[in-house]
Structure 1
Amino acid sequence: MQNVNLDELDLQILDILIKDCRTPYLEIARMCHVSGGTIHVRMKKMEDLGIIKGTRILLNLPKLGYDVCCYVGIYVDKTSSFSAVFDELSKIKEVVELHLITGNYSVFAKVICKSIADLQDILMNKVNTIAGIERTDTFISLSQPIDRNIQL
């Protein structure tokens, strides 16, 4: 992967958007002391380079009834199974992140669900039935004291 050179204005724009991705371009322009057109051009450049991949809404999941967040360490039986395992895990809506990792596990998945009973069902009837998964270890998150984007 190639590193991209960003100048101070690009970094300033990203810093503003990291804090609030809904900040209007004209407000960003005012804060950066440049024209709105300059912000549009810079944003388009960063999108074309793949630096900005979109925007997201942050949900308060417990208010929506999703009270359980956990991480599942997954042992995949062999390298040739990875693609099929990834495809099957992507079909489980409660799997919200999937990471190929180093260390004891092959894959680490973040799972969000409504209850421990739901978690049990997901693990027993969805995750652990996938061909190529040898076994799993589950870690339930008790709290999330830090939740932030990287600061540039």
Structure 2
Amino acid sequence: MALNQHPQLDELDLQILDLLIKDSRTPYLEIARICHVSGGTIHVRMKKMEEMGIIKGTRIVLDLPKLGYDVCCFVGIYIDRTSSFRNVFEELSKIKEVVELHLTTGDYSVFAKVICKNTTDLQDILLNKINVIDGIQRTETIISLEQPIDRNITI
């Protein structure tokens, strides 16, 4: 179901989400002014959407290279058997450099986004943290050279 077709969301909810997608730091009172409603209405609507699980929190966006994390890569992971999935997920969740994990169709069982400092760091993560996990048959790594698009979906 598309977000704008959610039966419990109305046009005001969608307008609030649109404003927050553009700038998640927009104060509730500013959103209220733009939407021509009270600040209390915005607060109630936000709480409703959080309780519905539509809004799952807020995040700060970091400039990772400025913090010394120069390598972003994607690791396609082949898991040897279905019974290994849970263990593999649990072990990968302990590796701080694994920032996303996706169960996928296609060639890989799992696709992980990994952020690290350099290729030496990446080699250590692959050899000593990821490939040693029981249940992982093998991996394939793709290094990202640039990220020309980085956006949230619009509604």
The TM-score, its normalising length taken from structure 2, stands at 0.95
In the alignment, what sits opposite 1:107? 110
Matching residue's letter, 1:139: I
What is the aligned-residue RMSD (CA, Å)?
1.1
Deviation at 1:60, TM superposition (A): 0.2
Deviation above 3 Å: which 4+ runs of structure 1?
none
The aligned residue for residue 15 of structure 1 is 18
Structure 2 gap ranges (5+)? none
Q: Which one of 77, 80, 84 corresponds to residue 81 of structure 1?
A: 84
Residue 59 of structure 1 corresponds to which residue in structure 2?
62
State the AA in 1 paired with 2:18.
D
Instruction: Give the corresponding residue for 1:70.
Output: 73
Gaps of 5+ in 1: none
Query: How far apart are residue 29 of structure 1 and its match?
Result: 0.2
Structure 2 counterpart of 1:58, which letter? V
Map residues 1-150 of structure 1 onto 2, 5 A cutoff.
4-5=6-7, 6-150=9-153
State the Cα distance separating 1:54 from its structure 2 match. Answer: 0.3
Deviation per residue, 1:63-110 (Å, 9 max, x gap): 000000000000000000000000000010000000000000000000
Rounded Cα–Cα distance in structure 2 between residues aligned with 1:144 and 1:78:
33
Per-residue CA deviations over 1:130-151 (Å, capped at 9, x if unaligned) read: 0000000000000000000000
In the TM superposition, what is the alpha-carbon distance from 1:38 to its structure 2 partner? 0.8
